[in-house]
Structure 1
Amino acid sequence: MEYTKEYTVKDEHIDVQQIMDGLYYPFYMEYCRHDYIREVLVFDFEDQAKKGVHMVLSGYKIQFLRSLKKGDQFKVTCTLYKDPAGQPKIYFKQSIILNGKVMTKAVFTGTCVPATGGRPYLPAEMIEKTVDAPVLEGADL
C-alpha cells in the first residue's frame, strides 16, 4: 500500500542556487515515513520508547533526479517492504513527486533495538503488520 502526504518547500530550505538544499529531501521523507509508521503500522515512537523499544534507521540510499524550488507543492510517498532474507529489517521505498515526475527516490532501512542495548529485532506487533508487505528485491536496495 502506497501512503502519500503533501508538502510545500519552505523558504528557509532554499539555497543560493534557488533550489532546495539536498539536506532537506530526506527530512520531508522522514516526515512522511513517521506519519506512515504512526498511522498505518500503529507504532507510536514515544510510547514505544517508554517501553524500551527504539525504532532506528540502519541505512538509506537516495537518488536525486530533479530539484525542487521555492514554493513547490509536492507529494512524498512511502511503501513498506519486508527483508528478502527474513532479517529483522523493514524497508521504506519513498519518492518525492512534483507534477507527476519523480524528483527524488530513496530506500530507507529500519529496525528496532532495545533501549538497553542488544540485537536488532522487530516487535511481534510490527511483524503482524508487515506480513502482507512485498519483499524488497536486491536491485531495489
Structure 2
Amino acid sequence: MEYSKTYVAKDEHIDVQEIMDGLYYPFYMEYCRHDYIREILGFDFETEAKNGIYMVLSGYTISFIRSLKRGDEFKVTCTLYKDKEGLPKLHFKQTIVCNNKLMTQAVFTGTCVPATGGRPYLPASVLEKITDAPVLEQ
C-alpha cells in the first residue's frame, strides 16, 4: 500500500542556488514515514519510547534526480516492505514527486531496539500489521 503526504518547499530550505538543499529531502521523507508508522502501523514513537522500545534507522540509500525549488508543492510517498531474509527490519521505499516528475527516491531501513540495549527486533504489534507486506527484493 502506498501512503503519501503533500508538502511545500519552505523558503528556509532553499540554498543560494535557489534549489532545496539536499539535507532537507530526507527530512520530508521522515515526516511522511513517521506519519505512516503512527497512522498505519499504530506505533507512536513517544509512547513506545516511554515503554522502552526505540524504533531506529539502520541505514538508507537516496538518489537525487531533480531539484525542488522555492514554493514547489510536492508529494512524498512511503511503501513498506518486509525483509527478504526474514530479519527484524522494516524497509520503506520512498519517493518525492513534483508535477508528476520523480525528484528523489530512497530506501530507508529500520528496526526496533530495547531502550536498555539488546538485539534488534520487531514488536508483535508491528509484526501482525506487516504480514501482507511485500518483500523487498534488492
Alignment correspondent of 1:119:
119
Q: Which residue of 2 aligns with 1:52?
A: 52
Separation in 2, partners of 1:96, 1:103: 5
The match for 1:24 is 24
- Give SS of 1:79's match: strand
- What is the match of residue 6 of structure 1? 6
**Could you tell me how far 1:58 is from its partner in structure 2?**
0.2
Equivalent residue letter for 2:68: L
Whether 1:62 aligns to 2:62 is yes
Shift of residue 125, structure 1, vs aligned partner: 0.7
Matched with 1:102 is 102
Q: Distance in 1 between matches of 2:24 and 2:50?
A: 29
TM-score, with structure 1 as normaliser? 0.97
Question: Identity of paired residues, percent?
Answer: 75
Where structure 2 has 5 or more consecutive residues not aligned to the other structure, the ranges are none
Q: 3-state SS of the aligned residue for 2:23?
A: helix
Q: Secondary structure at the match of 1:47?
A: helix
Separation in structure 2 between the aligned mates of residue 46 and residue 70 of structure 1, nearest angstrom: 32
Distance 1:62 1:128 in 2: 29
Superposition RMSD on alpha carbons, in Å?
A: 0.4
Q: CA deviation at 1:19?
A: 0.2
Within 5 Å, give how 1:73-88 maps onto structure 2: 73-88=73-88
After TM superposition, give the deviation of residue 136 of structure 1 in Å.
0.1
